[in-house]
């Protein structure tokens, strides 16, 4: 499935005038791993929809930049945005692969939360950001998904009063198929996936009160990260049809 890509894609958060400044991580990847040389022609994205080509130059020993930028391609942000609110898995690597896959597919935002039965109450935001950057580049996207800070589920539920956000929650007892959902007038679709130990009774009840839409994700019992993956795939497919 991987298309041939003649030029490597880099990411630069900081673009000033005609110059994109690579971070230390991106510079190391560019200079040490891929052994790019001054004057090489590279592609770089700002993670906000634009892809440029330009020429590599070295600012100092371990820091690279890409100059003489010219826009070569653009991607508009799709609407509605696709957000995944999920309790981090006990095993870090399961959340990490979910993020990698979800970014390839089209995720716009990851919102980790801690709920009553969460087994993991800390995340490595920096590592998740690096995975998002890497998956964005690998999949040829120019939009970098946002990794939100970890919050308490109750705080997240309290803040949900925007009528343009549609909140879905994966529930095995629901018969509602994601393909039946009406996305019109929404600017964000947020899917909530509970922790390995499931949401608590109070949490389910609060989501009911907040008019969450309970959606079915399949016939069988899914692991947390599989449920996230299935939900993101099905909602993404629905957004693509708009």
Residues that bind its own copies (CB under 8 A): 1-5, 97, 101, 104-106, 138-141, 170, 172, 177-179, 193-194, 196-198, 217-224, 226-227, 229-230, 233-234, 236-237, 240-241
Asked whether the beta carbons of 82 and 118 are under 8 A apart, the reply is no
In this structure, what DSSP letter does residue 91 have? S
State which residue, 206 or 222, has the beta carbon closest to its own copies.
222
Q: Which is nearer to its own copies, 60 or 221 (CB)?
A: 221
User: Residue 67 Cβ, how far from its own copies at the closest point, in Å?
Assistant: 27
CB-side neighbour CA atoms (13 Å) of 64: 26
Least distance to its own copies, CB of residue 13, Å: 20
Q: Smallest gap, in angstroms, from Cβ of residue 2 to its own copies?
A: 5
96's tokens: 């990490």
Compute the least distance from the CB of residue 23 to its own copies, in Å.
22
Contacts (Cβ under 8 Å, ≥6 apart) of 112: 85, 86, 87, 88, 95, 123, 128, 147, 148, 149, 150, 151
Give whichever of 2 and 60 is closer to its own copies, judged by the CB atom.
2
Q: Is the distance from CB of 195 to CB of 87 less than 8 angstroms?
A: yes
56 or 191: CB nearest its own copies:
191
Closer Cβ to its own copies, 25 or 138, answer by number: 138
3-state secondary structure of 161: coil
Q: Alpha-carbon distance 33 to 35, whole Å?
A: 6
Q: How far is the CB of 168 from its own copies (least distance, A)?
A: 13
């Amino acid at each position: 499935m991987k298309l041939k890509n003649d030029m490597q894609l880099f990411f630069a958060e900081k673009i000033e005038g005609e110059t994109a400044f690579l971070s230390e991580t991106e510079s190391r990847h560019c200079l040490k791993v891929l052994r790019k040389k001054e004057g090489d022609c590279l592609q770089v994205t700002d993670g906000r929809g634009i892809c440029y080509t330009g020429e590599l130059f070295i600012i100092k020993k371990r820091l690279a930049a890409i100059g003489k930028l010219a826009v070569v391609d653009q991607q508009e942000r799709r609407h509605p945005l696709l957000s995944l609110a999920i309790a981090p898995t006990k095993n870090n690597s399961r959340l990490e692969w979910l993020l990698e896959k979800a970014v390839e597919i089209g995720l716009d935002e990851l919102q980790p939360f801690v709920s009553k039965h969460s087994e993991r109450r800390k995340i490595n935001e920096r590592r998740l950001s690096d995975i998002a950057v890497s998956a964005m580049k690998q999949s040829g996207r120019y939009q970098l998904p946002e990794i939100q800070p970890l919050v308490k589920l109750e705080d997240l539920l309290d803040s949900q009063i925007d009528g343009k956000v549609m909140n879905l929650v994966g529930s095995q007892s629901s018969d509602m198929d994601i393909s039946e959902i009406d996305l019109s007038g929404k600017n964000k679709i947020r899917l909530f996936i509970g922790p390995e130990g499931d949401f608590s009774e109070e949490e389910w009840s609060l989501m009911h009160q907040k008019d969450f839409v309970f959606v079915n994700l399949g016939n069988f019992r899914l692991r947390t990260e599989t449920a996230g993956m299935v939900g993101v795939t099905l909602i993404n497919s629905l957004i693509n049809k708009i």
